[in-house]
Structure 1
Amino acid sequence: MNNHSPWVHTIFEPDTETAQYVVTDLETREAYIIDPVLDYDPFGGTVQGMMAEKILKFVQQHQLNVTKIIDTHVHADHLTAAHYLKQKLEMKVSVPEFWMGNKVTAVQDVFTKKYNFKYQELKPAGELFDRLVQEGDTWTLGNNIQCSVLSTPGHTPACSSYRIGDAAFVGDTLFMPDIGTARCDFPGGSTEQMYNSVQKMYKSWPDDTRIYVGHDYPPANSNRQYDVMTTLGAHKRFNKMISESATPESYHKLRSERDAALKAPRLIHPSLQVNEYLSNRICFENYTDS
């Protein structure tokens, strides 16, 4: 109904099993980049832009005009390439905005203290981002693709999910139905909030909404390959942790038991420190493209 379907191109980063997306209105060639990843070598402590360069090559190949780079939340398992891409694109024709959910300030407040950042270094009031979005914000991609945002805390307080036409990008909220959801045991995480966030998606969006997840971790007892998209209706029926009929109590039990068995993400400390510290260019002086 006068709401075009965007072209969604996935570039999967296998080291952290992260799905990066380029979302495009084919009519105008306007595009968004969602959840891009920087390559990080934890042994050498070096940062490279090989994966981000793949995104830039795709953008150039299809002559896209990137107007927004969106992180669905502050990532704890990989370094964001948002700043790298913004710098690279600004040197060409585009001047994209870096967007984040407005509750990022709560996450910044926690980790400012944890990592002993000074206020003037981190600026934990949202100054690092071009725009802080909040639930209820609406806009368009191109001329006709209607966009909106839901606040979906649970994994972190700052998680937001973006509906762009008939496609929704939910970051680390929902995973594929045979996995369930993301963990809720990080600082500020909450099974109660996650349950409410997912049920809000179920009530707010049509069943045929394409749900694009932030990661995929195929179960060990499964023969399936990496996959990053299914419909909201499939989640309502088949999500192993939080189907439409799940109760808050059943979800809390499943998620809490799973979280108790998980280790911290391998790159949690470099990820949080770099992703929190985007305003200070010193962190990015040693970027290389390959």
Structure 2
Amino acid sequence: MTARPSIQAFFDDATGTVSYVIADPASRCAAVVDPVLDFDLKSGRTGTVQAQRLLEHLREQDLTVQWILETHAHADHLSAAHWLQQQVGGRIAIGEHIREVQATFRKLYNLERGFLPDGSQFDHLFQDGEAFHIGELKAQALLVPGHTPADMAYVVGDAVFVGDTLFMPDVGTARADFPGGDARTLYASVQRILAMPPQTRVFVCHDYPPTQRAPAWESTVADQRAGNIHVRHGISEQAFIAMRQTRDATLDVPTLILPSIQVNIRAGRLPAPEDNGVAYLRIPLNALLATHR
């Protein structure tokens, strides 16, 4: 019988992001998935309100954090992985193809020489299919590129955490027009998830709910096969690619893409303070749209 982890979700209204604490009831070991660092674009101030919610839960449940798992380098929120690690420990991990994302954005931001696009900012880089454990729970990291080259899904017991590869069935799938993104590749990644047992629980990283329902984040592979508006059973690869390319051409650039990615490719670390004691984020002017849309 497939193990059933304990899963607690934390929804961030400001960014539509869902973070998770995955726990092994037997050992009280845990993993955190996609923690959010608050960021106010108008003032340039960071905060830990969302991350504190995770921290309080971890302490209330007396959980030992083994992993802080990133599904990809997010473009819509700053990661709280580094801050959370300072509070509770654990290894910050992401897929090994983060190196490609780092190389692309190192050039865009003209980052300091000391920033190496080698993934060394993270404690562990997962290979496709790599097995790991959360306490006694068996887990596996799966490469699911298309939204970005580095997207990972994490299978833990009877659940899969799909990042931005899939959304809730009535929302569909993630965009594929970011640097290194590709609609055909995304379709193949989705099919990899939909090939899992139908009862597999699917946990998404974001929800942008229609007005008639509240935010949600859990479905099943069966639900996705039957009802996902972009990739349900019967929608061909070519139809998906045409839809995705047409739709992506109409989408605005995410509000926090420029501040967030330069933090997230550093595993959630803010840039080092300069000689006046203040840290700065870079905003490249007239560069993103010309090269990355």
TM-score by length of 2: 0.90
Distance in 2 separating the partners of 1:286 and 1:58: 32
Distance in 1 separating the partners of 2:139 and 2:278: 36
State the partner residue of 1:282: 272
CA RMSD of superposed structures (Å): 1.7
Q: Per-residue displacement from partner, 1:235-263 (whole Å, max 9, x unpaired)?
A: 11111111232211110121122212210
Distance in 2 separating the partners of 1:139 and 1:127: 19
- Residues 1:259 and 2:248 aligned together: yes
Distance in 2 separating the partners of 1:189 and 1:232: 23
Deviates more, 1:256-265 or 1:67-76: 256-265
Q: Per-residue displacement from partner, 1:256-290 (whole Å, max 9, x unpaired)?
A: 2221221011111100121123466626x889xxx
Contact 1:108 1:124 (8 Å CA) reproduced:
yes
State the partner residue of 2:103: 109
Query: How big is the shift at 1:140?
Result: 2.4
Aligned length: 276
Q: Spell out structure 1 runs of 4+ moving beyond 4 A.
A: 278-281
Distance in 2 separating the partners of 1:264 and 1:254: 18
State the partner residue of 1:206: 197
- Residues 1:162 and 2:154 aligned together: yes
Distance in 2 separating the partners of 1:227 and 1:280: 30
Question: Which of 122, 131, 143 is matched with 1:129 structurally?
Answer: 122
TM-score by length of 1: 0.91
Distance in 2 separating the partners of 1:185 and 1:127: 26
Amino acid at match of 2:272: I
SS in 2 for 1:282: coil
State the partner residue of 2:92: 98
Contiguous gaps of at least 5 residues in structure 2: 280-293
- The 5-angstrom pairing of residues 212-223 of structure 1 reads 212-220=203-211, 223=212
Q: 1:118 to 1:197 in 2, by over 3 A?
A: same
Contact 2:6 2:24 (8 Å CA) reproduced:
yes
State the partner residue of 1:87: 86
Query: How big is the shift at 1:119?
Result: 3.8
SS in 1 for 2:117: coil
State the partner residue of 1:177: 169
Q: Per-residue displacement from partner, 1:5-59 (whole Å, max 9, x unpaired)?
A: 0011001010001000000011111000000000001011011111111111110
SS in 1 for 2:238: helix
Amino acid at match of 2:238: E
Identity of aligned residues (%): 39
SS in 2 for 1:139: strand
Amino acid at match of 1:282: A
Distance in 1 separating the partners of 2:189 and 2:146: 7
Amino acid at match of 1:100: I
State the partner residue of 2:178: 186
Distance in 1 separating the partners of 2:220 and 2:123: 31
State the partner residue of 1:92: none
Contiguous gaps of at least 5 residues in structure 1: 90-94
Distance in 1 separating the partners of 2:205 and 2:234: 24
Amino acid at match of 1:268: I
Contact 1:199 1:244 (8 Å CA) reproduced:
no
SS in 2 for 1:266: coil
SS in 1 for 2:160: strand
Amino acid at match of 2:134: L
